[in-house]
Amino acid sequence: MAQARKVIEGDVIRQYKRLHDYMEEIIRSNPGSTVKLATRRLSDGTEKFSGIYICYEACKTLFKQHCRCIVGLDGCHLRGQGKGILLTAIGLDPNDQIFPIAFAVVAVESTETWIWFLDFLVRDLEINDSSKWTFISDRQKGLINAVRSCCHMAEHRFCAWHMHNNFRKVFTSTTLKDKIWEAARATTEYAFDRVMDEIKQLNSGAHTWLTTHTSKEHWSRAFFGFEAKCDILIHNPAKDGSRLEDCVGPKIRKKIEKLKSKVGDCLVREADEWLYQVNTKVNEQFVVNLRERTCSCRSWMRTGLPCPHACTAIQSSSETVESFIPTCYSTETFRQVYAGVIYPLHEPDMWPKTPHPDIVPPDLRRLPGRPKGSRMK
């Protein structure tokens, strides 16, 4: 079993020794890419691995040119002898699918390693005014501090799914679960406050937990800004391999049709050529301005996609809903996002030979459990 693993994964120590050569090969094959290695010098003069950051030229350039200014940050544990943590930064493409930006492997997840990662990311994405950017992550304390340090003016959203997982460790009620997600999806401050009052009546302890463990600005759509043109509540959206044969991607088309299907629940009154009053069947009233592309429910400005009230107003005019979809969702933009190429690398024997000293791997740990004595059938 050990011999088979060595054939598949290679010699771990030998792989770390070639890290400098590996970096040079990435830069040779993908000019403009950012590859940074962090090491610490030992008493015997050797360099021990601390972390490596990689951002391919195609990823960072096309993200800056065609994607919205929202970045998901996450870390996960790596398995194997070397262990460590994989740090990732992902964006959203025009079909609301994940788009890789940069990644790093570090020894531990902490404020220091996240700051190290974000410092390079900020340079690669040329984030000069962080107030125009949005980050979404779990509530990992080191990451919160790192975002505050590197992009103190950026909007920082917390993943509602992670927040609810922590919440349900204390409060297991399915009714409270539904109310939390209703509060997270609320689009106005009034709607949010109404749901929070209902939670307080159901369980005052749950209400106290929500108000003391996190700020409402981080997890409810009612308080999200408009720069990102995105209202996702989780930081790991799914992939979608569908083909694009429409003016927008299939995920966006599905969202548009769902919004248009609610037009029947609305009654529209025209104030002038561009201004409309829309009433819903639950006695809500909203003001839609087609010229400025705004609705008092805030959904249109937050996502860029016309809300049901806007769709009602648009359909009563001579325009189509599709004519109000911003270019960041178009199929043409999608094709441009994936027009770049991440060029493959040569085999290790053909990599450049660098004069740098060999890198010593982090402390290799034996995996828990008794090693298997026979192969897995």
Tens of pLDDT, residues 45-79: 778 889 999 999 999 999 999 999 999 999 988 87
Q: Please tell me the predicted confidence (pLDDT) of residue 141.
A: 78
Indicate if 145 and 204 belong to the same structural domain.
no
Question: Does any domain span residue 331?
Answer: no
Domain membership flag for residue 40: yes
Residue 370 or residue 64, greater confidence:
64
Mean pLDDT in residue range 106-131: 93
39 and 155 in a single domain? The answer is yes
Q: Is 347 domain-assigned?
A: no
Instruction: Tally Cβ neighbours within 10 Å of residue 47.
Output: 19
Final residue before a domain boundary, out of 246, 276, 307:
246
Last residue within a domain, chosen from 246, 278, 304: 246
**Domain match, 15 and 91 both:** yes
Looking at the domain assignment, is residue 368 inside a domain? no
Does residue 139 form part of some domain?
yes
| Same-domain check for residues 12 and 128 | yes
Beta bridge mates, 359? 47
Asked whether residue 358 is assigned to any structural domain, the reply reads no
Question: Over 80: is that where the pLDDT of 364 sits?
Answer: no
Contacts of 331 (CB under 8 A, 6+ apart): 94, 244, 246, 247, 248, 249
- Are 2 and 147 part of one and the same domain? yes
Mean pLDDT of 245-262: 90
* pLDDT-based confidence at residue 107 (cuts at 50, 70, 90): confident
3-state secondary structure of 228: coil
Provide CB contacts within 8 A for 286, sequence distance 6+.
Answer: 277, 278, 279, 280, 295, 296, 297, 309
Confidence of residue 1 (pLDDT cuts 50, 70, 90): low
Average pLDDT of span 314-334: 91
Same domain, 180 and 154: no
**How far apart (Å, rounded) are the C-alpha atoms in residues 237 and 188?**
24
Q: Are residues 18 and 87 in the same domain?
A: yes
When pLDDT is cut at 50, 70 and 90, the band that residue 321 belongs to is very high
Per the structure, the count of domains in the chain is 3
Contact 286, 187 (CB under 8 A): no
The mean per-residue pLDDT over the stretch 321-328 comes to 92
Residue 353: predicted pLDDT: 87
Q: Are residues 14 and 26 in the same domain?
A: yes
* Domain that includes residue 221, residue range: 172-226
Q: What is the C-alpha separation between 115 and 96, in angstroms, rounded?
A: 27
The verdict on 153 and 78 lying in the same domain is yes
Same domain, 10 and 151: yes
Evaluate whether residue 359 is within a structural domain: no
| Residue 246: per-residue pLDDT | 82
Burial readout 149-181 (b: 16 or more C-beta within 10 A, e: otherwise): ebbeebbbbbbbebbbeebeeebeeeebeebbe
* More confident site: 290 or 376: 290
- What per-residue confidence (pLDDT) applies to 165? 87
Per-residue pLDDT at 2 exceeds 70 = no
Asked if residue 54 and residue 34 are part of one domain, the reply reads yes
Query: Is the confidence at residue 278, as pLDDT, over 90?
Result: yes
Q: Which of 88, 95, 68 is nearest to 137 (CA)?
A: 88
Kindly state the percentage of the chain with pLDDT values over 90: 59
Distance CA 24, CA 338 (A): 25
The pLDDT of residue 236 is 65
Q: Which of 277, 304, 324 is the last residue before a domain boundary?
A: 324
- Does residue 19 have a pLDDT over 70? yes
Residue range 175-187: mean pLDDT, rounded: 92
Residue 49 within a domain: yes
Of the pLDDT bands very low, low, confident and very high (cuts 50, 70, 90), residue 232 is: confident
Place of tokens 């209902």: 198
pLDDT average, residue stretch 29-34: 96
Same-domain pairing of 112 and 10:
yes
